[in-house]
Amino acid sequence: MDSFSYIHDSSFWQLIAKEIRRRAENELIPLFDSLNREMTRLDLPVTFGGQRSTLWAVMCQLFVLYNTEAPSLHRAGYLKMILGFKRALITQGRFPEIAFRRIVANISYPSAPGRTPRESITDTFLANGLTPTGGYTDSSMDAIILSTCFADPAVMSLCDQATAPPTGLWESATAYYPAHRPDFFQRIYGDLITWIFR
């Protein structure tokens, strides 16, 4: 899996994250619309859409790619990957780092026994990507909202689709990057600026 020569370049992961974010802006809209119809059917006071849902879907897609294509990335490579995500999502501060930690925690301590890592990623999107609506009173409703969603195959299928990276993205990015790789000084400068200011 980790045979790509430039997998430790933050600029490679920045390319991946920017492309996932670009595609997500349009491709997630119909999925969020379908999820909202399911929330209405289940009479749940939550909705999907907007920046919150989109960013959580993007981060879950990125985690799926990382987990399938670069699972043995060492600590230095992991930090470079997070730097790339921060540059791609420049207005989001430490959100990429926080989101990855939450996903890892949910994989380590799943919502129910027997959940696979992929299912736990989907669960993370569901729990964090929704927004309460007017019918939501307080946090006492959280357990019933989540348990109802987790038990509904249609909802979970849509959440799984929302967290699936675009087909062929890894292959196209690894083919494109070598010829467009920033030079050494650009890479070092980009990393330093991100470490200092992000």
Q: Write the pLDDT tens digit of every residue in 152-169.
A: 999 999 999 999 999 999
Q: What's the mean pLDDT when you consider all of the chain?
A: 89
pTM: 0.90
The two tokens of residue 120 are 């736990």
Using H for helix, E for strand and C for coil, what is the string for 23-85? HHHHHHHHHHHHHHHHHHHCCCCEECCHHHHHHHHHHHHHHHHHHHHCCCCCHHHHHHHHHHH
**C-alpha to C-alpha distance for 142 and 24, rounded to whole angstroms:** 27
**C-alpha to C-alpha distance for 75 and 71, rounded to whole angstroms:** 11
pLDDT band per the 50, 70, 90 thresholds, residue 28: very high
Residue 23: pLDDT above 80?
A: yes
CB-side exposure of 31: number of CA atoms within 13 Å?
24
Q: pLDDT of 94-153, one tens digit each?
A: 899 899 999 999 999 887 788 999 999 999 999 999 999 988 888 899 999 999 999 999
Greatest alpha-carbon pair distance for the chain in Å reads 55
Phi, psi of 92 (to 5 degrees): -100, 5
CA dihedral defined by 37, 99, 173, 20, rounded to 10 degrees? Answer: 30
Domain ranges of the chain: 10-166
Element (H, E) at 131: strand 131-132
